[in-house]
Amino acid sequence: MSLLLDISTREAEVRHIEEVGARFRLVSFTAERFRNAPWTPGDMVQVIASGSTLLGVWEVRSYTPLAFDPVTGTAEILWYVHGNGPGSDWCDSAEVGTLCRLVGPRRALSLPKQQRPLLFFGDETSFSTAVALRETPSRHRDVRFVFEVDSVEEARVVIERFGIGDSTRLIAREANDRHLDEVEHEVLDTRRSTGAANGVLTGKASSIQRLYRAFRAAGVPGRQITNVPYWTPGKRGLKGH
């Protein structure tokens, strides 16, 4: 093990894996160096999905713990196994006892700062962040969720598992992003009817851009909208800023 790797990353072990529907896995890690580590809901951890020597290429991928316990040094991440990259493959092949190296937690998005009522938009990669809102002082109170997803049936298993089914609207993706008209309508309508002061936009970069423009056109000040792109087609390993 190289010294750099040892200093800059934390060794962690997979302690528990739960299949949540077909393509989601809830993975629980413990790391000695997570004990007493500061964590704010919305922070990310980064997983070294491949590369374990100083000279090798590190494939670093970002994920958002839905819960973090500094007493036991445990982070839990809800992972979308989309099947197109090393982060997804790493999760797919992980087992209880698998060792890995992580970076963080580090800042990506501060969920406690988001005022309620809150409108949260995302996709499959955003479910872990959406669940992490329950670790904020207001928990899931006065939050409405809108997600664009490949499979409404698979996504429903996730939202029911984490108890956010009643406050969530799932919209199926369509060719050429035709569904984004419906997403935009739903997001603006929900914002109006709930009086949501703040919007959090996560997930696919192009969807976020479109909704950001729609919010601004509806008169929402830019400071009330938080954007964190989680992925974009053809690009590898986005870091959220």
206 binds ligand FAD (CB under 6 A): no
Please say whether the beta carbons of 165 and 140 come within 8 A. Answer: no
Judged by CB under 6 A, the residue of 88, 98, 194, 224 near ligand FAD is 88
Site string for ligand FAD, 63-82 (x = CB under 6 A): xx------------xxxx-x
d(C-alpha 118, C-alpha 140), whole Å: 9
The 3-state DSSP class for residue 60 equals strand
Q: What is the closest distance, in whole angstroms, from the C-beta atom of residue 114 to ligand FAD in the complex?
A: 15
Q: In the bound complex, which residue of the shown chain has the CB atom lying closest to ligand FAD?
A: 85
Judged by CB under 6 A, the residue of 10, 61, 134, 210 near ligand FAD is 61
Q: What is the closest distance, in whole angstroms, from the C-beta atom of residue 170 to ligand FAD in the complex?
A: 15
d(C-alpha 174, C-alpha 162), whole Å: 26
Q: Which is nearer to ligand FAD, 197 or 205 (CB)?
A: 205
In the region spanning residues 110 to 139, those forming contacts with ligand FAD, defined by CB under 6 A, are 124-125, 128
Q: Which is nearer to ligand FAD, 9 or 128 (CB)?
A: 128
Would you tell me how many other CB atoms lie within 10 Å of the CB of residue 172?
13
46 binds ligand FAD (CB under 6 A): no
Judged by CB under 6 A, the residue of 41, 73, 87, 122 near ligand FAD is 87
44 binds ligand FAD (CB under 6 A): yes
Please say whether the beta carbons of 28 and 76 come within 8 A. Answer: yes
d(C-alpha 155, C-alpha 138), whole Å: 24
- Joined tokens for residue 167: 């406050």
Q: What is the DSSP letter of 54?
A: S
Judged by CB under 6 A, the residue of 9, 40, 62, 190 near ligand FAD is 62
Span between the terminal Cα atoms of the chain, in Å = 30
Q: Count Cβ atoms within 10 A of the Cβ of residue 137 and give its class: 0-12 exposed, 13-18 middle, 19 or more buried.
A: exposed
Q: What is the DSSP letter of 115?
A: P
Q: What is the closest distance, in whole angstroms, from the C-beta atom of residue 91 to ligand FAD in the complex?
A: 8
Q: Which residues bind ligand FAD (CB under 6 A)?
A: 44, 49, 61-64, 77-80, 82, 84-88, 108, 124-125, 128, 228, 230-240
